[in-house]
């Protein structure tokens, strides 16, 4: 938890404690000294994220932290910092620094989910009304509807970076805002539901009803356009928005196998609709069949972010990805094979939604064992891991963020977001 500084006028949650150099810089900023960033810039390339406010880091960490007496006000403060720093057009940015916007791309659609978690923790609707939270969240939803709907009527992923899953194969390497992905749209369903629930609790019943209708319509469109199954089970695919009208084979993000058969890329993000409760029980069973195959996603340390059977699978600490903002490749987080606490958490809650409680508990216990082993061997936590349970990044360790979800494991989720739409 960090005190107010510069544009952050409320207590806020960084994903990890800042380094000594970063902490010194923040202290100087709070004292009014017009200091430049420390050596190494914002230090993100070094795995030091303590100077920033991150969209889904805060939202998903709030599942565990928003009910903690010492931290719930910082969860609210982080939400308010995001809203205060939004653009006039309603765009909430995905990464903010105290003194400027770090990444002006829109946040993942998780802001209303964060607000609902905060409200569940503080238990006081008046505090949200006091800060005009609902109107500002509605402005963000409106911004996404105006600017990020693709040719198939589904929401576009702003970029692989903005998805939060930097190197995910369903969006990485494609032009910005050109892919309608299953993860982006599943989170948008959750965002509609969460905004509807906030509107209901704040007495705006007509708005709540309209938002619930939008959630259902988007769920139906996902089911109609993105579902795919083969001999390995079911998943949801991504479509290239710019190629509408040339047929499914030209639009789906995939590759041809040695026999010339088109294979949609089956990333873990294609399983995210399970977390949102979108598929029918029959389709959910097909997804779980794919998810729980040990040779594919179901690894000894948790859910692999790409099937081990994929030709693209690897568990390197980082990968190089072309960054159009800088005109050159740069290192980003690896979501093409390593195990992340967040993806394992999502999939455990998806299994739980559909009655697979034993499997969900098994995955929760693997996550707890992974983190406990890391603490014993390294004295710290990492962002992601290989199948042997070795921490991959940051090289010096020190990552916290959504690893705090372990505080709620094992067992059924108390997340108010997941109580919606069941």
Average pLDDT, integer, range 154-172: 95
Nearest-Å Rg of the Cα atoms of the chain is 20
CA dist list (Å): 118 to 193, 249, 405, 408: 15, 43, 15, 16
DSSP three-state, residue 139: helix
- Sort 315 into a burial class: Cβ within 10 Å, 0-12 / 13-18 / 19+: buried
Nearby residues of 28 by Cβ (< 8 Å), 6 or more positions away: 35
How far apart (Å, rounded) are the C-alpha atoms in residues 354 and 358? 11
Per-residue pLDDT reduced to its tens digit, 400-417: 999 999 999 997 778 999
**pLDDT in the model for residue 252:** 94
Q: Residue 140: which of 190, 102, 87 has the closest Cα?
A: 87
Nearby residues of 192 by Cβ (< 8 Å), 6 or more positions away: 141, 211, 212, 214, 215, 218
How far apart (Å, rounded) are the C-alpha atoms in residues 307 and 339? 11
**pLDDT in the model for residue 359:** 97
| Dihedral in degrees, nearest 10, Cα atoms 331, 337, 339, 344 | 120
Q: How many CB atoms lie within 10 A of CB 305?
A: 28
Nearby residues of 281 by Cβ (< 8 Å), 6 or more positions away: 354
Average pLDDT, integer, range 42-51: 82
Query: For all residues of the chain together, what is the average pLDDT?
Result: 93
Per-residue pLDDT reduced to its tens digit, 73-83: 999 999 999 99
Confidence of residue 259 (pLDDT cuts 50, 70, 90): confident
Q: Is the pLDDT of residue 37 over 80?
A: no
Task: Domain ranges for the chain, please list them.
Answer: 1-108
Axis crossing angle, helix 182-201 with helix 111-122, rounded to the nearest 10: 40
Contact in structure between 391 and 334 (CB atoms under 8 Å): no
Q: How many CB atoms lie within 10 A of CB 60?
A: 26
- What count of residues does the chain have? 422
Instruction: Tell how strand 100-106 and strand 93-97 pair up.
Output: antiparallel
How far apart (Å, rounded) are the C-alpha atoms in residues 56 and 68? 19
Average pLDDT, integer, range 164-176: 94
Per-residue pLDDT reduced to its tens digit, 324-369: 777 888 889 999 999 999 999 999 999 999 999 999 999 999 999 9
**pLDDT in the model for residue 179:** 96
**pLDDT in the model for residue 45:** 76
Per-residue pLDDT reduced to its tens digit, 171-199: 998 999 999 999 999 999 999 999 999 99
Per-residue pLDDT reduced to its tens digit, 51-65: 999 999 999 999 999
Nearby residues of 15 by Cβ (< 8 Å), 6 or more positions away: 49, 50, 52, 54, 57, 58, 61, 399, 400, 401
Q: Residue 8: which of 60, 85, 64 has the closest Cα?
A: 85
pTM score, whole prediction: 0.96
Q: Is the pLDDT of residue 215 over 70?
A: yes
How far apart (Å, rounded) are the C-alpha atoms in residues 305 and 387? 11
Contact in structure between 318 and 262 (CB atoms under 8 Å): no
Per-residue pLDDT reduced to its tens digit, 245-254: 567 778 999 9
């Amino acid at each position: 938890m960090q005190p107010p500084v510069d544009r952050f006028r409320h207590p806020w949650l960084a994903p990890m404690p800042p380094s000594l150099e970063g902490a010194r810089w923040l202290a100087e900023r709070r004292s009014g000294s017009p200091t430049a960033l420390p050596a190494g810039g914002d230090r993100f390339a070094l795995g030091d994220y303590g100077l920033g406010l991150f969209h889904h880091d805060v939202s998903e960490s709030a599942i565990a932290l928003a009910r903690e007496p010492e931290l719930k006000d910082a969860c609210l403060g982080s939400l308010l910092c995001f809203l205060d720093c939004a653009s006039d057009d309603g765009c909430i940015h995905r990464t903010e620094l105290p003194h400027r916007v770090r990444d002006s791309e829109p946040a993942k659609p998780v802001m209303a989910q964060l607000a609902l978690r905060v409200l569940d923790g503080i238990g006081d609707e008046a505090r949200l009304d006091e800060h005009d939270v609902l109107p500002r969240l509605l402005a963000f939803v409106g911004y996404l509807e105006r600017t990020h709907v693709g040719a198939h009527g589904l929401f576009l992923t702003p970029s692989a970076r903005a998805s939060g899953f930097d190197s995910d194969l369903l969006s990485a390497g494609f032009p910005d805002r050109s892919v309608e992905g299953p993860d982006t749209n599943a989170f948008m369903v959750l965002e509609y539901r969460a905004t509807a629930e906030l509107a209901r609790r704040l007495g705006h019943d007509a708005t709540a009803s309209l938002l619930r209708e939008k959630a259902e319509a988007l769920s139906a469109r996902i089911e109609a356009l993105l579902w795919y199954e083969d001999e390995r089970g079911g998943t949801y695919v991504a479509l290239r928005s710019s190629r509408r009208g040339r047929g499914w084979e030209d639009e789906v993000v995939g590759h041809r196998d040695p026999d010339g058969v088109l294979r949609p890329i089956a990333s873990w993000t294609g399983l995210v609709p399970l977390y949102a409760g979108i598929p029918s029980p029959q389709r959910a069973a097909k997804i779980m069949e794919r998810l729980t195959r040990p040779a594919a996603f179901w690894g000894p340390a948790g859910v692999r972010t790409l099937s081990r059977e994929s030709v693209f699978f690897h568990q390197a600490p980082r990968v190089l990805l072309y960054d159009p903002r800088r005109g050159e490749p740069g290192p980003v987080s690896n979501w093409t094979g390593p195990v992340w606490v967040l993806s394992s958490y999502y999939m455990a809650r998806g299994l739980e939604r559909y009655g697979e409680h034993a499997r969900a508990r098994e995955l929760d216990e693997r996550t707890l064992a992974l983190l406990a082993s890391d603490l014993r061997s390294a004295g710290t936590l990492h962002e992601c891991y290989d199948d042997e349970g070795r921490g991959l990044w940051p090289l010096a360790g020190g990552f916290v963020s959504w690893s705090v979800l372990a505080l709620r494991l094992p067992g059924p989720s108390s997340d108010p977001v997941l109580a919606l739409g069941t």
